[in-house]
């Protein structure tokens, strides 16, 4: 089994985030360049409208009021009111547009992430809790949506505002402007000091959030086991542990994060006091009253966007921890992919060969399968039996190419399956895994998942062959009955019958049944066997079974032990050998006799 990360184990980051990776975000903004330009235009117009205010006040104080020029005063008032209306309209347009762009960006990024996850091999999902995957698709993307759209555009807006404000400030009094900028280096140094600690702190927080999400996901999946063994208190204690770790990491992270804001505020306050001090000293000499009042207004206009830029920088550092995980998942490469020269597999006849196949999950782990060698002729039924963990399911997973073989070769109709496209391989196979999964939706839709273009009559016919039709018709809405995720309202046997009908509907050339009848009672199994006998005709089938009574008619039975095929033959031949198969069959027979 592949090494698995657990809910209480922090995930190591294989590749550190590179600042150049922020350029990747431009890929998601590019389709919205036209909309962004309109937004930037409205920002520019709105900023000019807002910044006019202090200048109009200066003119009013220094000219219109002293000269008692009421006409000019009314004109200035009208311009000021108009500027407020323009600023309001631009602000409203910006908020609406940015919200829409942000949601579109969120969909694009989440779709890319989810698409890559769909292509990853089983080994990726075997090696980590599913809750840790889920949090990246949902929570981490949500955290970034505001940064990618609203935060970025506001950053540009604030930069434009700072530039325009500086232009007005230099035009009014260039000496006071330089005095206003004297503490900027102090602010830059402060931001540099805390940014590294903040990034590390939020990377740790992302790990703890991932652990918490993984435990919640796991505990919900296992709630029946928890309640069945009366382990609620232990589950609550485990939750408290991961929740407290998350809280402690959050408090450490925000303690560092919030250090930047007060620093900017203090620099802003000191700068304003400095300008008051210098301006009052020069009042009436080189600085007029209107100039000083206007300049103080512009200082506020200057430092407010600086504070916003500082907050954006804060958010950027915080988001880095989430971007690291998102890009790590996006960059995760599937080890099971089409070869560069892969071709579509023609219609399968069903000749399957395992040629000296060995398999391990990781390079540094021991072999799970060792030199597996067998030949299944077209139309034959091959049964795989053996103790739990012997390697039976691994063999059929290699046939479906859910994993790549480590050594050797698997061929279908003398074609190496590593050289054909995955779609052309899997669309000609019907696989029913040991862990039956039922999707939320109607029973009709669940069965039709095997072949989406199937008619209702074909769905019903598949259910009849699988002996699922009888119990389906007893449900309140029959085939239109809605079932919940994993089919929680149905018995394990009913779920398996529906899953079996789904496989039958696909009409595969190669049929793989991994413990397909494990949860079906003996009476239902006997009925199902009738349909199976018809279905298996002309198809190559692989059946993994612990219940040996179900595979006595198999053309070939392979006994798997410790990753090797130790016996092979028909039921009669293996019984005559009196080897492992005989012992397995005899022990099951005696158990049935005892009951």
Stretch 244-257: mean pLDDT, rounded?
Answer: 84
Which tokens belong to 575?
């019984």
Asked whether residue 179 carries a pLDDT value surpassing 80, the answer given is no
Domain with CATH 1.20.1560.10 in the chain: 24-330
Stretch 373-389: mean pLDDT, rounded?
Answer: 91
How far apart are the C-alpha atoms of 219 and 213, rounded to whole Å?
Answer: 10
Under the banding of pLDDT at 50, 70 and 90, the label for residue 242 is confident
Enter the pTM of the model. Answer: 0.67
Instruction: Summarize pLDDT for 547-571 with one digit per residue, the tens.
Output: 777 788 889 999 999 999 999 999 9
Under the banding of pLDDT at 50, 70 and 90, the label for residue 293 is confident
Q: For residue 351, what pLDDT is reported?
A: 93
Beta strand spans in 336-480 (E): 352-359, 369-376, 381-385, 407-412, 415-416, 429-432, 441-442
* Residues with Cβ within 8 Å of residue 266, at least 6 apart in sequence: none
Stretch 367-390: mean pLDDT, rounded?
Answer: 91
Q: What angle do CA 485, 489, 492 make, to 5 degrees?
A: 90
Asked whether residue 576 carries a pLDDT value surpassing 80, the answer given is yes
Q: For residue 229, what pLDDT is reported?
A: 67
Asked whether residue 403 carries a pLDDT value surpassing 60, the answer given is yes
Q: For residue 180, what pLDDT is reported?
A: 76
Under the banding of pLDDT at 50, 70 and 90, the label for residue 471 is confident
Q: 527 near 497, Cβ under 8 Å? A: no
Q: For residue 395, what pLDDT is reported?
A: 93
pLDDT over 90 for what percent of the chain? Answer: 14
Residue written as tokens 């969120």? Answer: 106
Pseudo-torsion of CA 48, 53, 54, 60, nearest 10°? 130
Report the interhelical angle of 456-465 vs 492-505 (nearest 10°).
120
Q: For residue 592, what pLDDT is reported?
A: 60
Under the banding of pLDDT at 50, 70 and 90, the label for residue 1 is very low
Q: For residue 444, what pLDDT is reported?
A: 92
Stretch 43-55: mean pLDDT, rounded?
Answer: 78
pLDDT over 70 for what percent of the chain? Answer: 87
Q: With b meaning 16 or more CB within 10 Å and e meaning fewer, what string describes 329-354? A: bbebeeebebeeebeebeebbbbbbb
Asked whether residue 376 carries a pLDDT value surpassing 50, the answer given is yes
Asked whether residue 283 carries a pLDDT value surpassing 70, the answer given is no
Asked whether residue 488 carries a pLDDT value surpassing 70, the answer given is no
Instruction: Summarize pLDDT for 111-166 with one digit per residue, the tens.
Output: 888 888 888 877 777 777 777 778 888 777 877 766 766 676 677 777 877 887 78
Stretch 433-454: mean pLDDT, rounded?
Answer: 83
Stretch 441-454: mean pLDDT, rounded?
Answer: 88
| Architecture label for domain 436-507 | 3-Layer(aba) Sandwich (3.40)
Q: For residue 568, what pLDDT is reported?
A: 93
Instruction: Summarize pLDDT for 215-234 with one digit per residue, the tens.
Output: 887 787 777 677 776 778 88
Q: For residue 13, what pLDDT is reported?
A: 60
Residues in the chain: 595
The rounded mean pLDDT for the chain is 80
The residue that leads in pLDDT, 322 or 478, is 478
Q: For residue 416, what pLDDT is reported?
A: 94
First to last CA, the chain: 35
How far apart are the C-alpha atoms of 487 and 578, rounded to whole Å?
Answer: 42
The residue that leads in pLDDT, 336 or 404, is 404
Asked whether residue 194 carries a pLDDT value surpassing 70, the answer given is yes
Under the banding of pLDDT at 50, 70 and 90, the label for residue 501 is confident
Instruction: Summarize pLDDT for 295-305 with one digit per residue, the tens.
Output: 777 777 777 77
Stretch 87-110: mean pLDDT, rounded?
Answer: 83
Q: Is 262 exposed, middle or buried (0-12, 13-18, 19+ CB in 10 A)?
A: exposed
Domain with CATH 3.40.50.300 in the chain: 339-428+509-521+539-595, 436-507
Under the banding of pLDDT at 50, 70 and 90, the label for residue 286 is low
Q: For residue 591, what pLDDT is reported?
A: 67
β pairing state of 369-376 and 415-416 = unpaired
Which superfamily, per CATH, for 24-330? ABC transporter type 1, transmembrane domain (1.20.1560.10)
Instruction: Summarize pLDDT for 12-25 with one digit per residue, the tens.
Output: 665 555 666 677 77
* Residue (of 472, 466, 445, 440) closest to 456 by Cα position: 445
Q: For residue 405, what pLDDT is reported?
A: 92
CATH of domain 339-428+509-521+539-595: 3.40.50.300
Under the banding of pLDDT at 50, 70 and 90, the label for residue 384 is very high
Q: For residue 486, what pLDDT is reported?
A: 62
How far apart are the C-alpha atoms of 557 and 417, rounded to whole Å?
Answer: 23
Q: What is the DSSP string of 300-327?
A: HHHHHHHHHHHHHHHHHHHHHHHHHHHH
Stretch 474-487: mean pLDDT, rounded?
Answer: 81
Under the banding of pLDDT at 50, 70 and 90, the label for residue 370 is very high
How far apart are the C-alpha atoms of 479 and 443, rounded to whole Å?
Answer: 5
């Amino acid at each position: 089994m592949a090494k698995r990360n657990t809910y209480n184990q922090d995930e190591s980051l294989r590749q550190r985030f590179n600042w150049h990776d922020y350029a990747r975000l431009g890929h998601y903004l590019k389709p919205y360049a036209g909309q962004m330009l309109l937004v930037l235009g409205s920002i520019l117009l709105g900023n000019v409208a807002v910044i006019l205010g202090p200048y109009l006040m200066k003119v009013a104080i220094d000219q219109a009021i002293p000269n008692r020029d009421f006409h000019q005063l009314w004109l200035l008032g009208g311009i000021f009111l108009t500027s407020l209306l323009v600023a309001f309209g631009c602000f409203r347009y910006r908020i609406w547009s940015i919200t829409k762009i942000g949601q579109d960006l969120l969909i694009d990024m989440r779709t890319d992430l989810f698409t890559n996850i769909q292509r990853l091999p089983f080994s990726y999902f075997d090696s980590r809790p599913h809750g840790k995957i889920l949090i990246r698709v949902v929570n981490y993307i949500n955290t970034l949506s505001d940064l990618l759209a609203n935060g970025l555009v506001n950053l540009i807006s604030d930069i434009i505002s700072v530039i325009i404000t500086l232009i007005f400030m230099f035009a009014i009094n260039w000496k006071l402007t330089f005095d206003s900028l004297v503490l900027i280096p102090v602010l830059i140094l402060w931001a540099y000091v805390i940014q590294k600690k903040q990034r590390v702190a939020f990377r740790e927080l992302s790990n703890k959030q991932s652990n918490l999400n993984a435990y919640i996901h796991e505990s919900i999946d296992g709630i029946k086991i928890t309640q069945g063994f009366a382990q609620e208190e232990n589950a609550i204690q485990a939750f408290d542990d991961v929740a407290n770790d998350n809280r402690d990491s959050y408090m450490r992270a925000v303690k560092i994060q919030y250090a930047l804001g007060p620093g900017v505020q203090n620099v802003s306050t000191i700068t304003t006091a400095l300008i008051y001090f210098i301006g009052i000293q020069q009042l009436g000499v080189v600085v007029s009253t209107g100039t000083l009042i206007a300049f103080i207004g512009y200082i506020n206009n200057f430092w407010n966007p600086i504070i916003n830029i500082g907050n954006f920088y804060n958010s950027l550092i915080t988001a880095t921890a989430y971007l690291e995980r998102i890009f790590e998942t996006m960059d995760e490469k599937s080890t099971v992919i089409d070869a560069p020269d892969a071709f579509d597999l023609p219609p399968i006849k069903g000749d399957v060969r395992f040629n000296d196949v060995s398999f391990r999950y990781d390079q540094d782990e021991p072999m799970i399968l060792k030199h597996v060698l067998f030949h299944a002729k077209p139309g034959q039924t091959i049964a795989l039996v053996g103790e739990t963990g012997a390697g039976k399911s691994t063999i059929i997973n290699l046939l479906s190419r859910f994993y790549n073989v480590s050594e050797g070769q698997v061929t279908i109709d003398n074609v190496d399956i590593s050289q054909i496209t995955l779609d052309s391989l899997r669309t000609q196979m019907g696989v029913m895994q040991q862990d039956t999964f039922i999707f939320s939706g109607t029973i009709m839709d669940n069965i039709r998942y095997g072949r989406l273009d199937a008619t209702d009559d074909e769905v019903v016919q598949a259910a009849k062959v699988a002996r699922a039709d009888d119990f389906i018709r007893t449900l309140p809405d029959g085939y239109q009955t809605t079932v919940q995720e994993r089919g929680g309202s149905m018995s394990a046997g009913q779920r398996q019958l529906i899953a079996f009908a789904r496989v039958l509907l696909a009409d595969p050339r190669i049929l793989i049944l991994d413990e397909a009848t494990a949860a079906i009672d003996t009476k239902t199994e006997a009925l199902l066997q009738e349909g199976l006998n018809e279905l298996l005709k002309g198809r190559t089938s692989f059946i993994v079974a612990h219940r040996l009574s179900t595979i006595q008619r198999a053309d070939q039975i392979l006994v798997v032990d410790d990753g090797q095929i130790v016996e092979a033959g028909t039921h009669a031949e293996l019984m005559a050998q009196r080897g492992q198969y005989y012992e397995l069959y005899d022990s099951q027979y005696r158990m049935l006799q005892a009951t």
